[in-house]
Chain A
């Protein structure tokens, strides 16, 4: 029984471990070596999905901390990724409070709004308060591919939730 509990805890911690791993490791979702314009923001998808479906899996403190680590590794001003992650988190919380049953299509639509707000905040802060110059084309591609890949990752995470975490949505 105790062993089963431990396994459950490990599976429950999976998304959080993945979030920290993506923030702190060299692994990235910028696959421009394969396809020049291809990059997407996996942490934002993870945060949106799990806060929407299972908020107990990701704590807001962890999301904030993962954002700080991401800023240090990427060389952005401290706090900017945390802010963008927390905006996504807020949208996801709001949608969860307002809706009873969600479908992949409704989640996709609300994710689009959350992503737009998060990216808008991220890049307007970077543009107005930092010396870092960023290509708008790359932002566009990144947003597009993040949005485009959301349904695929939605299915993968739903499968993971159904088979490894269990129970119903929050």
Chain B
């Protein structure tokens, strides 16, 4: 019995402390170091934050370079197939131009109408278009637990934590981490994402919650609210972070997994360029 206990303790100690060959450090010392770094990072000492910010910038650049061959392969196949479909594409483009011509006729009328409506609304929160930053997605690693992306603009470009991020004027998420040359965006479908939204003709208020899957869902709808298909969801701006009226997605009854699911206008897995709105809205004062 005592021999087997000795055996256990020898194997245990050896596993923790043994070095040699490629094992330059003992596992125990590295475990202690990892715990030390973890708590330094968690309790957010200023020096650690700055160090992490520099490490982030360097690692994100390396990740971008390392991943570039992976990006090239699908791009190359797409380019090759599009080369063979030039004629077809040309016809489609002609049709698109015709459509645009007809749309152009309505544009002036709609612009004037929009101006008038804005005057009526006296919308104080309309964003100044100079206060936006166009950023490229550096890293889009699809983690099973966190839904976030890294962009190539950071505090140097005036980006701060909490700023809303859009693509084609559709809301996609908000900034949760900033470094000097890069930032992390928490996407709307992440489990940690919560956004006040408004929907329907009666401007019902709700919270858009990420579910960790492709589509987020609506929570805290008014009592007795009947969930209908194809209703557009807008950011309500009640939190003072998101711009009121920014479109997000449409309600869907056919996705299956959860009730009250929202189909986002922008597919969170297909982001390449995004826009960060630098204007931080003030919280409403009552």
A residues lining the B interface (CB < 8 Å): 21, 24-28, 30, 32-33, 36, 39, 55-64, 67-69, 72-80, 82-83, 86-87, 89-91, 93-94, 96-98, 125, 129-135, 138-139, 141-142
Contact mask B1-42 → A, CB, 8 Å, 1/0?
000000100111011101001111111001101111111111
**B: number of interface residues (CB 8 Å):** 56
Report whether B142 and A79 are in contact in the complex, using a CB–CB cutoff of 8 Å.
no
With a CB–CB cut-off of 8 A, which chain B residues contact A57?
Answer: 22
- Having A25-B70, A77-B38, one finds 20 other A-B pairs with CB under 8 Å, namely A25-B66, A26-B70, A26-B140, A27-B67, A28-B142, A30-B142, A55-B22, A59-B25, A60-B30, A64-B34, A72-B56, A73-B60, A78-B40, A79-B33, A79-B35, A79-B37, A79-B38, A86-B30, A90-B31, A135-B212
Interface segment out of the listed B76-84, B89-97, B143-151, B235-243: B143-151
With a CB–CB cut-off of 8 A, which chain B residues contact A80?
Answer: 34, 38
Most buried by A among B26, B52, B142, B213: B142
Near A by CB (< 8 A), chain B positions 35-83 give 35-42, 52, 55-56, 59-60, 62-63, 66-67, 70-71
Given contacts A77-B42, A78-B52, contact A138 B70 (CB under 8 A): no
CA distance A129 to B43 in the complex (A): 9
Report whether A21 and B191 are in contact in the complex, using a CB–CB cutoff of 8 Å.
no
With a CB–CB cut-off of 8 A, which chain B residues contact A28?
Answer: 141-143
26 residue pairs of the A-B complex, CB under 8 angstroms, read A24-B66, A26-B63, A26-B66, A30-B143, A32-B142, A32-B213, A39-B144, A55-B22, A59-B22, A60-B24, A64-B34, A73-B60, A73-B63, A75-B177, A76-B146, A77-B41, A78-B37, A78-B41, A79-B41, A82-B30, A83-B31, A86-B31, A93-B14, A98-B7, A132-B146, A138-B144
What 5 A-B pairs have minimum CB-CB distances, sorted nearest first? A79-B38, A39-B144, A93-B15, A26-B67, A79-B37
Report whether B27 and A89 are in contact in the complex, using a CB–CB cutoff of 8 Å.
yes
With a CB–CB cut-off of 8 A, which chain A residues contact B145?
Answer: 132, 134-135, 138-139, 142
